[in-house]
Chain A
Amino acid sequence: MKKLYSVLVIAILASLVLAACGAGGAKATNLLDAIKQRGYILVSTDPNYEPQSFLNTEGKRPSDTKCPADALTTAEMQGFDVDVAKAVGDDLGVETCFATPSWDAITAGNWADKWDISVGSMTITTARQQILDFSIPYYYTPAVVAVRADSGITDLAGLEGQSLCAGSATTYEQWLNHDMTGLGLPEASIYAQAPNVTVVPLETDQECAQAIASGRNDFVGYVTSATVVDANIAAGFPVVKLGTPVYSENLAVAFDKKSSLPSDTLRAEVDKLFTAMHSDGRLAELSNKWFSSDLTQDPS
């Protein structure tokens, strides 16, 4: 019996030691060099949003791709964010690959090196800056409230006491919850205070829009970016934008503060690229291509 106990203890200790040794050694000393060495950059983006980032279901994965098996290639993805990510990859001279974790996993930080950067229209907020580093903004979207077309509501005051939907872990949810510190936007970017409403957070804002379109009445409207509402209206959803934008978001590329290799040189490279792309009009061109309007001018 004693022998068996000791065998068990040894087995447990051995498995713990093995677990601790799981991490492999990397040669490069910063993320930029590591990316160049392996020949591809792994970008996380949330393919739930047309026209920002969505799947190209007809795209064929190239046979000579360097992307990991569970990552998607540029052929399988499309959208504004995807084109911006591709510009980053091209600038570094590497292939661009896409990881597709859920949005909360991206905004939560601690990526464990599963992907290098996030190019997913992420708003720079104070809360997110605690765990993530941001590039300079590559575009700006106005956030708006959309309501059911037959609701009869015409202004923000009319929403008092009603229910509004937002994607969970989005800035829209924070704005609705009056979480101004978490939102952390400059005063100049906030145009209106949220009315006192019951907030219904769903997995993404797309569920909010579809719930209304399917005839459910758990809430009268939802908060999301003007681009998403435009796409919803274009798809024939019975919603209207409520007045003017409520705030403006600065959208940027995010880097994990806890990545095992420092990302500062990579961030400097991305900043340099975006500055160039802002001034030579390449970003404006991409914006016109996907949104039919130029959203790359700083409104503040």
Chain B
Amino acid sequence: MQSDSTSGHVVKPAPSQAELLYEAQQRQTRNFRTNVGLSWGILLLILVYLFSGQNFLGIKTIHLDFEFIRNNMFFIAGGLGQTLLVSVLSIILATILALLAALGRLSTIPPIYALSTFYVSLIRGTPLYLQIFFFFLALPQLGIILTGLMAGVLALGLNYGAYMSEIFRAGLASVGKGQREAAIAIGMNPWQTMKRIVLPQALRFALPPTGNEFIAMTKDSALVSATGFVHEVMWRATRVGRAQFHNLEALIMAALFYWVMTLILSYVQGIIETRLSKGDR
């Protein structure tokens, strides 16, 4: 802080125009955040009210059996571990496949390029639900008997790998041509260029969207319950729901668990994104 030179004695300096502007901006951001928070609260209250079963001012709401919910809440939540396990294993497989497919896509060797595009086309052109059943039902004929979990992870991994290969391709493409040329100029071979120059930069670009895919995958992992062998959230919800004739309650509970899980994962994702963007210039 500088003292005011014109008045001759030291006083608290009047805030500069820039400081005033900055403060106003801060206030606006705070106000905006508070209002968003409040609106969220109101929307949440409306949602809760919609499921309260109360009949107020002639507005019909959905009636739920809360005793069933209380009795089965923990049982359904017990599937969260399996859901996360399937998602984590699948995203690891998907990341590896996506990277390979993206590299293959950039390859100038015809069979490798073909393999990569064939894989992406085949997987993206068929439904995930069908792929899960395919690995569960077809592979035993080849003598490969996968558990429900492995078949699910294979299908989810292959499926997301195909979609994520586009992310990785974009990541690789985001590294400027000049970078590669510079690497070659200082005498690196293609492998070194890839490992030391292109991949580190591409991965930083590809990581946030990969996190998004992971969040999406936690929900698609529900499809794995179709084979009946992975006792994750959706499987547990449908079984107790059907046997006790409370499908609606059971599914709403599962929905709530998925939502909370994605909220937490999105939060973590936000932190990672801020961290990664710090180095950006």
Contact = CB atoms under 8 A, between A and B. Distances in A.
B240 A204 contact: no
B228 A105 contact: yes
Contacts of B134: none
B109 A1 contact: yes
Contacts of B242: 48-49, 204, 206-207, 210
Contact of A47 (B147, B243, B247, B248): B243
Interface string A89-128: 0000000000111100100001011100000000000000
Contacts of A23: 143, 145
A48 B239 contact: yes
Contacts of A47: 239, 243
Interface in A1-55: 1, 4-5, 8, 19-23, 47-50, 54-55
B89 to A, nearest CB: 14
Contacts of B231: 70, 72, 100
B189 interface: no
A112 B115 CA distance: 30
Interface string B131-156: 00000110011111101110000000
Given A102-B226, A206-B243, A237-B245, A70 B75 contact: no
A292 interface: no
A232 interface: yes
B243 A50 contact: yes
Interface in B222-281: 226-231, 235-236, 238-240, 242-245, 247-248
Contacts of A5: 111
A50 B243 CA distance: 5
Contacts of B229: 70, 99-101
Contacts of A209: 245
B71 interface: yes
B52 interface: no
Interface string B59-74: 0000000000001100
A19 B145 contact: no
For A19, A112, A204, the residue with the greatest tally of chain B CB atoms inside 10 Å of its CB is: A112
Given A48-B239, A49-B243, A206-B245, A70 B230 contact: yes
Interface in B166-195: none
B247 A70 contact: no
For A20, A72, A210, A235, the residue with the greatest tally of chain B CB atoms inside 10 Å of its CB is: A210
Contacts of A237: 245
A45 to B, nearest CB: 10
Contacts of A19: 142-144
Nearest to A59: B75
A57 B75 contact: yes
A252 B243 CA distance: 21
B211 to A, nearest CB: 28
B236 to A, nearest CB: 8
Interface string B104-144: 00000101100100000000000000000000110011111
Nearest to A5: B111
Contact of A57 (B72, B145, B228): B72
A113 B75 CA distance: 29
Contacts of A49: 242-243
Contact of A113 (B115, B145, B147): B145
Given A1-B109, A22-B144, A232 B245 contact: yes
Nearest to A234: B245
Nearest to A57: B75
A214 interface: yes
A112 B148 CA distance: 13
A213 interface: yes
A4 B111 contact: yes
Nearest to B248: A214
A21 B245 contact: no
B145 A20 contact: no
Interface string B81-110: 000000000000000000000000000010
Nearest to A76: B231
Contact of A48 (B115, B243, B248): B243
Nearest to B226: A102
Contacts of A99: 228-229
B145 A114 contact: yes
26 contacts: A1-B109, A4-B112, A22-B144, A47-B239, A48-B238, A48-B242, A50-B243, A50-B244, A54-B240, A70-B147, A70-B148, A70-B230, A70-B231, A100-B228, A100-B231, A100-B235, A100-B239, A101-B227, A114-B145, A206-B242, A206-B243, A207-B247, A210-B248, A213-B245, A231-B245, A235-B244
Given A8-B111, A55-B239, A57-B71, 6 more contacts: A8-B112, A21-B143, A70-B231, A72-B231, A206-B242, A207-B247
Interface of A: 1, 4-5, 8, 19-23, 47-50, 54-55, 57, 68, 70, 72, 99-102, 105, 110, 112-114, 204, 206-207, 209-210, 213-214, 231-232, 235, 237
Nearest 7 interchain pairs by C-beta: A112-B140, A54-B243, A57-B75, A23-B143, A206-B242, A48-B242, A101-B228
